[in-house]
Structure 1
Amino acid sequence: MLVSVATIVLGSLGGLWLWTAAGHTTEVLAVRTLVHRGEVIDRDDLMTVRVSLDPAVQTVAATQADAVAGQRAALDLAPGGLLTPSDFATSVLPARGTSVVGVGLAPGMLPAEPIAPGDAVRVVQTPGAQGEVADAPVTVSATVVGVHPSETGDQTIVDVVVPAEAAADLAARAATGKVALVLDSRER
């Protein structure tokens, strides 16, 4: 009889704990209307929702709505989706007067030191088929905005921001496959 009572009490306490844990919700921001990448997020584009969250899920607290309004969408935001800190930024990329160029680099054409967004780099033209090196190789200064392995895994694609007037020349040089990447000082 004593064991039965103890089992009922423990079961009740366990059920109460589960009900309390499941009932804990947090107010976070969600997207009310479609917002395209680069558009300014308006206060009317946002809504507050109450959700039960896993601590690993990054969200934006509902109290931050006024701070988010006026920011730019970093990617297309679908209606009903929870807003995360990486979904918005103060500026759009590429900014006016700049362009993003993807540079495919084979192993050995970029440093072994991992390249990260924000790094200052130079894209340098490498020797031609005969191995000739110009007295002053063509270089283009750039800032890294993304690093991605190619689908085949034989190259690393480094997205760099350059002045718009240098983009076409850099893209043409990168297309030849005869460029290397130099990582400049990270000291600021």
Structure 2
Amino acid sequence: MAIARTGVYVDDYLEYSSTLAGDLQRILSTMRELDDRAHGIMGQTKEQVKYVLGVSSHGHDRPNMDDDDSAMEKMKKDIEASQDNALSLCTEKVLLARQAYDLIESHIKRLDEDLGQFAEDLKHEGKIPPDEPPVLPPIPVVARDDKKRLGFSTPQASKKFREREWDRDRGMDFDLMPPPGSSKKAGLIW
């Protein structure tokens, strides 16, 4: 019976996940478009800031100070509006990334549940021993706040470099050898 139900589990999950690829593609395409728009706005804002800084440093010699002040205020408001727009686009990207994460997470949970139910069916029918753990144990979902970045470190050798047998057998003096890549640097000088 469980073997017959295998098809049911597979068919149900395939039907459930049939839209996953399309949904993810839509979300990622939208994120890419938002990213392109945000980069364009940030580039435009950077040019506006350069212009304002250039005008303000050379603007003291001009006789039309009132016109310059109103133009500067308008430029500053435009810059602030551009920054707000870029921030809004980036916030929307983050929300889309969260949506993609939640979508994938829900599919993983569903698959884990289906696999667990299938394993239970196999145990009830005697196809696998009742005390046998599931083939694929569920991966604990760690909350985003609980995740910690693990530091990376260089593995340390159990023996010092000079104490290795092959080093002593060859009789080479590594202290007198030039550092790696020094011949390339010498070639660039010529």
Q: TM-score, normalised by structure 1?
A: 0.21
- Indicate the structure with greater helix content: 2
Q: Which structure is richer in relative contact order (CA contacts within 8 A, separation 6 or more)? A: 2
When normalised by structure 2's length, the TM-score is 0.21
Report which of the two structures shows the higher radius of gyration computed on alpha carbons. 2
